Amino acid sequence: MKKILITGGAGFIGSHVVRQFVNAYPSYQIINIDKLTYAGNLENLKDVENAPNYSFVKGDIGDSEFINDLFSKYCFDGVIHLAAESHVDRSISNPMSFVETNVKGTVTLLNAFKAHCNIKTAIFYHVSTDEVYGELSHEGKFTEQTPYSPNSPYSASKAASDHFVRAYHHTYGIAIKLSNCSNNYGSHHFPEKLIPLMINNIINGKPLPVYGQGANVRDWLFVEDHAKAIDLIYHKGRNGQTYNIGGNNEWKNLDLVKLLCQQMDDKIGNPKDTSIKTIAYVTDRAGHDFRYAIDSSKLMNELGWKPSVTFEQGLSKTIDWYLANKAWLANVTSGAYQSYYEAMYR
Ligand code: NAD
Ligand code: TYD
């Protein structure tokens, strides 16, 4: 039985990756380790928590004693590493926690992998972001050859962790895979990021804070399509390679928020334009990257991946999930979220 470690499996994307692997590979033993920070939530895994091929261990990837014990106990055949501090705004106010988890945590995992896993056969897969490439102006897309040029403390920490993963491949010969993905959306997304924050605010009749003029552009991918791409790359991707993953689905922030307002008003039964009227332009993010866009042709041509839903379909499914899971939203927005929101948007 193959033993696969998934880190950060209680977070947004991690929970979808856990679900994908637990359900698709009953013959694998999936071990999820997660520190359960504000972004990690075992409620995200209710549907798989009793699966015979799944187990959860609470812990910090930066704690080398804990990580070494875990690796010596399990002797993993593969690691799919997602645990991270993931929010750009938080990286601006507290960069050090991004160094601790994203850089030190990744190197701690790499050292344990090198020490305890069969480096001839085991795979270390790092799940990363397109933000490592920096920003684009109106034209062009990021390819796997685009030079790294991270602009935020978050993207700088992810770029550093990507470099460490590649350096361990080059120096020690460990088998690695990397993917750099655009902005994800879908169920179980913590409401600090654009789409779930807007959904939560519309549900609660709060203003919709758009940074600057809302002119920045992001490429959005449905999270379940990301999880399927990770499955494909883990199993079929080439050793030492990077694959870019994107939705070919660029939206100016303001246009996206307006679409979300229309879909929400329709579903809730609000009079036309109720939510659009609550858009509030707020101070722009420091160093705000203008545009991200991904060229996924390597992944599509080599491994035959393509997104399974249109943006309208994915967004509709996402809104339906939040409307059906208001208790989840209420739970994750109680307590510390309130002080975060106050400090961030006052
Ligand atoms: P998230 O913030 O929702 O979840 C992160 C998870 O990591 C949480 O469960 C948290 O508890 C856990 N974690 C944090 N610090 C930890 C530590 N020290 N030890 C163990 N666990 C820890 O993040 P996400 O949006 O699901 O992103 C997952 C990964 O995908 C990240 O590596 C991120 O950089 C990458 N990524 C995210 C996006 C996106 O749009 N969200 C896009 C591309 C890549
Ligand atoms: P976000 O979801 O934080 O992802 P990232 O910064 O990693 O791309 O933000 C997506 C875009 O939405 C980004 O251009 C910033 C903008 N934004 C707002 O306008 N208002 C908000 O309240 C948030 C959280 C983001």
Q: Are 116 and 71 in contact (CB under 8 A)?
A: yes
Q: Is the pTM of this model over 0.85?
A: yes
314: left (phi > 0), else alpha (psi -120 to 50), else beta? alpha
What pLDDT digit, counting tens, does each position of 291-346 carry?
Answer: 999 999 999 999 999 999 999 999 999 999 999 999 999 999 998 999 999 999 98
Q: 131, 162, 192, 224: which is the annotated catalytic residue? A: 131
Q: What pLDDT digit, counting tens, does each position of 51-110 carry?
A: 999 999 999 999 999 999 999 999 999 999 999 999 999 999 999 999 999 999 999 999
Residue 39 has which token pair? 């972004």
Per the annotation, the verdict on 225 as an active-site residue is: no
Q: Catalytic residue at 100?
A: no
Check if 237 has its Cβ closer than 6 Å to any atom of ligand 1: no
CA of 79 to the centre of ligand 1 (A): 15
| Per-residue model confidence as pLDDT tens digits over 205-223 | 999 999 999 999 999 999 9
Do 184 and 221 meet the contact criterion of CB atoms below 8 Å apart? yes
pLDDT of residue 346: 85
C-beta 60 within 6 A of ligand 1: yes
Instruction: Quote the pLDDT of residue 242.
Output: 98
Residue ID of nearest Cα to ligand 1 atom 14: 84
Does the beta carbon of 215 lie inside 6 Å of ligand 1? no
Enumerate the domain spans of the chain. Answer: 2-189+220-248+288-309+337-345
pLDDT score, position 71: 98
Residue 120 has pLDDT above 90, yes or no: no
Whether 113 and 71 have beta carbons less than 8 Å apart is answered as yes
CA of 270 to the centre of ligand 1 (A): 34
Among residues 46, 43, 40, 42, the alpha carbon closest in space to that of 86 is found at 40
Distance 183 CA to ligand 1 centre (A): 12
As a whole number of angstroms, the distance between CA 188 and CA 227 comes to 14
CA-based nearest residue to 2, from 94, 130, 149, 123: 123
Tens digits of residue pLDDT in 133-173? 999 999 999 999 999 999 999 999 999 999 999 999 999 99
Whether 38 shows a pLDDT value over 90: the answer reads yes
Q: Which of 160, 195, 151, 174 is nearest to 292 (CA)?
A: 151
154 is catalytic: yes
How many alpha carbons lie under 13 Å from residue 184 in its C-beta half-sphere?
A: 28
Given this structure, which CATH class describes domain 2-189+220-248+288-309+337-345? alpha beta
How many angstroms is it from 34 CA to the middle of ligand 1? Answer: 10
Extended strands (E) in 172-318 = 175-181, 183-185, 208-211, 217-222, 241-245, 250-252, 279-282
Active-site option among 154, 168, 243, 322: 154
Q: List CB contacts of 149: < 8 A, sequence separation 6 or more.
A: 132, 133, 134
